Structure formats: C-alpha cells, structure tokens
Chains A and B, each alone.
Chain A
Amino acid sequence: MATPTLTRSTPAAPTTALKIRQPRKRLTVGRVAAVVVAALIAVLWLIPFAWATVTAFKSEADASASKVSWFPPSGFTFDAFVNVFQAGNIPLWTWNSLYTSAAITAITLVISALMAYALSRIEFKGKKVLMVVIIAAIIVPPPVLMIPLFYQMLAFKMIDTSWAIILPQVIHPAMVFVLKKFFDQIPHELEEAAVMDGASRLRIFLQIILPLSRPILAAVAIFVFIGAWNNFLWPFISTNDDSLLTLPVGLQTIKSAYGVQYAQNMASALLAALPLIVVFLFFQRQIIKGVATTGLAGT
C-alpha cells in the first residue's frame, strides 16, 4: 500500500502537488450543499479578521461603545493606526522580527543542508550513531530547554542581545531529515562524472546537489521562517530590552500597556499580521507545498 507523501516527487520533475483535479462538474444537490458548507466555514474563519479590521478603523469611543456595530456611528477613521505608529515601536519590532527570522532561516538552511548531505551521500564512520541521535532529538520539546538555556545564555552574557534569540532556534533535526530524504532521490549518476574529474565533496554539494534542491530548500526556508517569525516563548524569555523585542513579544507589552484601547489593539494586531499575509499571497504555492512536504516528512 503506497503511503501518500509528497516527498516522492523526483527532483527532476517536481509534482504539481496540490493541483486540484476537477472531475465531474455536474451541478448536483450534493455539490451545491458542499459549496454552501465550505462557504459557511470560510465566513466563520474570516470573521475575526473582518471584526478586527472594522474595530481598527473605529474611533476609540465607538470601539468601546456597548452597542456592537459593524458600521460605527461616527464613521471610519485612521486614528488608531496613527496612534500606534506614534506611540508604539511597531516598525522597530517588525524589523527585529525580520532580521532575527532571516538569520535563523539562513543559519538553519546552511547547517542543515550540509548535515543532510553528509547523511545522504557520504559513507563515514559514526554516521549511524549520528543519525539515531539526531532522530531522537526531534522529540525534544523546546519548553523543556527554556530553563537551562536561559541559564546558559546568562553565562554566555548573551541575554538581551539578538544572539540569544537567534542561536538556540537554528537546530531543526526534522528539517535535516526532510532535506536528507530529498537528497537521497537525486540520481547518483549526476555526480559520478564530477567524481571522475576529482571534484571535491564541497564542489559537488554546491554545484550539483544544491541547484537541484531548490524546491525543498524553499519549502524548508519558508517553514523555518514562519516558525521563527511567530515564536513567542523563547524571545519572550531571552529579551527584556524594549529595542530588541520581536513583534509577537512587543505586541504582548502593548496589550498590557494600553489595556482598554480596543481600536489601537486591533490596529497593532493587524499591522503585525500584515507582513505574513502578504508573503502568503505571493508565495501561496510554495508555502502550501512546504507545509505538506515538511509536515508529512517531519514524522
């Protein structure tokens, strides 16, 4: 029985994994019912966005009025957004999130791809043990590490630096195996010629393996980036300095500082949500593929 995984796709011909087949297009009762149910769920799923948006464009008085309204009595206004930009550090926190997530993604990709290549293509002593240790590491839940990691960062004098946010987040054992599985499928014939010519391992890796692996590298990158961008617990623990906070942690401080300013709260939430929603609109296919591939192969 074939297990349906998207990792089966060969590097030469990546399957258009999520292209929906459209079998019979008859207009049946069942079909109409399906559309209705799907639409109902979609509306339910969009309401929080819609409600947050409407609130963000209200005046603070309208937002805290006891009568819930989709069309505020005193009309829509940009006040909340203006206030957020004046009062908060949203642009700074967005920048912090951007460069820490980018650094985490870059380091993760480099070290994981090198490791995966070694596990996939090179026969060396101790490889089997290494493999078992890294597989075992997949189950380690990050919350278990927070206490000793915090203490370790204190000892390294890294607390309240960006390094504290970045360095502990670059280890993704599951991603190593996602990459290894992909490298395994690349035909050996492709590198044999290079081996004959006496090309070094590094050269084979850089000039043959990596270019063929763009889809999986993109998938892993997107997956790691989203995770790093949205991570709350570790950046929350490892930074207190207001100028270093990432967006999720910064938002948490805004929430407690403004308390009851609903319009402002929703405006900052929307500003924080915007970058990834835009990224999604641009990279929809890759993101969906990334989730499907890394999610399935991660087990």
Chain B
Amino acid sequence: MSSSTLSRQTSQPRTTPGPGKAGLSLRRSRDNLNGWAFATPFLVFFLVFLVWPILYGFYMSLTGKSLTGANDSLIGFANYAEAFADAGMWRSLGNTLYFTVISTVPLVLVALVMAALLNIGLPAQWLWRLSYFAPFLLASTVVSLFFVWMYNPQLGLINDFLSKFGIPKVGWLNDPNVAMWSIVIATLWWTVGFNFLLYLAAMQNIPVQHYEAASLDGAGPWRQFFSITLPQLTPTTVMIVLLQILASLKVFDQIYQMTAGGPGGSTRPVVQYIFETGFTGYRLGYSAAISYIFFGLIVLVSALQFVITRRRSA
C-alpha cells in the first residue's frame, strides 16, 4: 500500500491533475477502484461470452467431443492432424481464399470509382448515396432472395436480358465454374456501399488547396485524380483492402443461402465447413479444431495489417 502510494506521487499523472498533493494519493487509490468499477460490466460480458468461449473452444479442439455427448476425453492434437489431411477442409479453405481474392478487387475498385464520381460534386447527392449504399442495409437473407430470383436460369431477369443479345442461358448458381462469380456479384452489390462511404469521407478530407494549386499549374481532372487524390488516399486504400480481406474471409451467409455451398461443394466456404462438421456432423471437437486453423489465418492477416499500419504511422 504505502510503497505504491509513494511511487504514484513521484510519477504525476499528466492527464488528470488532482486537486493538490494532499488529495492526490486519496484520489489515485479511489481511481484504482473507479477504473475497475467502470470496466466491470464490459469485462463480465467480455469474459463470459468472448474469452471463455475462446479458451473452451481450444480445449474442445483437443477432445473427441460430439454433440451426442460421446468421448469427452483429451485426444491431443489428433483433430488438427486429421484436419490437415482432410481434403474437404482444404477445399473449403481454398474456396474461401478464392472468394476473398476475386471479391476484394471489385469491392475496392468499384467503391473508388463511385466515390470519385460523387466527389466531383454532382447534383442530388442524397439520391446517389442512397442508391449506392442502400443495399448495405439489407439482411443477407433479403439479398439472397433478390439474387436467387434474378439468377433463375429459366425465369430470371439476367438470362432474359442476355438472351436479347443472343447469349445462351447461363446457370448462374448451378454451374460450378460460374457460381462463385455469381456470389461475388451479389456481394459486390450488397456491400460495396460501405467501402464507397469510407472512400467518400476520405476524399472530402483532402484539402481543397491541393486542387486549387494543381489547377493553377494547369493540371486537368485526370491528372489531379492520379497525382493528388489517389496518393492522398493511400492510407485509406490500405485500410479498406485489409478490412475487406478480413470481411471476405468470414464469408458464409450469402453463400449458404444462395447455393448452400454447391454445386458439388464448389462454393462451400470454410465457415460453412465448420458449421456442418459441428452441427450436422455432430463432431464438435473436430469442428473446433478447424475453427482454430481458420482463426490462425485471420490472426496472420490481422498481424499483417498491424505491421503495415504501424509502419505507415511511424
């Protein structure tokens, strides 16, 4: 007690100047209490619904636990060994990475184009923003209903439109070569509005003086975009790309609802594989092990993000 009071007096807090030396130590020890009191409600939820499941999930991954209750005993890393030899897991992981790669590019580029167009200062801003952003407000179920209907091979709007140009019917969600792209298109429509708003916000924080100076130097709009806007947006772009990768890796909802992972497992993402091994295959332990392999992947990408953003701000 006394020693900590001493050390506290020597390291004066810069942020909260107390009412004087006498009251300081009293206030400081009260703040120790206050701090934890304010933190407690969050911490209770945090420990029960986040920290504990993480630890418990890891423990589960080391057991042969099943939903039917059989075999709770520890089996070491056998589940992990099995997962690494499991073609189904690798395939679903491959699908997830494929989706991530082919979705991130359009989700960033289209957002940039949308924001750049609006940043010119078009009339009726709210109308553009509404039409680009509104899909983001929909539940995945609604988006899936919309697109399954439009992708319908016989009655669908898209095939009907294409037939006017003599293009034969496409099995948007039935053709294993096309299905993932169809999901990317639906995802682009659904979520690009979020990235668009982030870009728009960043663009509007670029000082007007930059453009005025460039204008005086005779730089046209394209030149201004590539020499001022894009470079100024680099931190935003890095952030959007990384956020998008992290979001795309977690893909599940729209795929599950539009193709249920089919045809022939060609769109099944790793989250669905975890879901199925756990809840329809009843192998909770094995499912938890795959969760942790997936978690490892996310940690890797997040670490990359941390390194990149740190280097930028340093």
Contact = CB atoms under 8 A, between A and B. Distances in A.
A147 B122 CA distance: 48
B295 A118 contact: no
Size category, A interface: 35 or more
Contact of B204 (A20, A139, A196): A20
Contacts, number: 312
Interface string B195-238: 00110111011101001000000000100000000001001100
Contact of B49 (A18, A167, A226, A298): A167
B117 A37 contact: yes
Contacts of B120: 31, 34
B34 A118 contact: yes
A129 to B, nearest CB: 11
Nearest to B30: A201
Contact of B133 (A38, A149, A288): A288
Interface stretch (A71-79, A84-92, A266-274): A266-274
A49 B132 CA distance: 12
Given A134-B46, A148-B54, A48 B150 contact: yes
Instruction: Output the residue of B49, B121, B145 with the most chain A CB within 10 A.
Output: B145
Contacts of B17: 188, 192
Given A66-B154, A145-B50, A248-B140, 18 more contacts: A31-B120, A42-B132, A45-B132, A107-B45, A117-B38, A118-B38, A122-B31, A137-B51, A140-B50, A143-B291, A146-B275, A148-B60, A176-B42, A273-B138, A276-B137, A284-B129, A295-B197, A296-B201
Interface of B: 13, 15-19, 28, 31-36, 38-39, 41-43, 45-46, 48-54, 56-57, 60, 113-114, 117-122, 125-135, 137-142, 144-147, 149-150, 154-157, 160, 189, 194, 197-198, 200-202, 204-206, 208, 211, 221, 232, 235-236, 239, 242-243, 246, 249-250, 252-253, 257, 271, 274-275, 278-279, 284, 287-288, 291-292, 294-295, 298-299, 302, 305, 309, 313
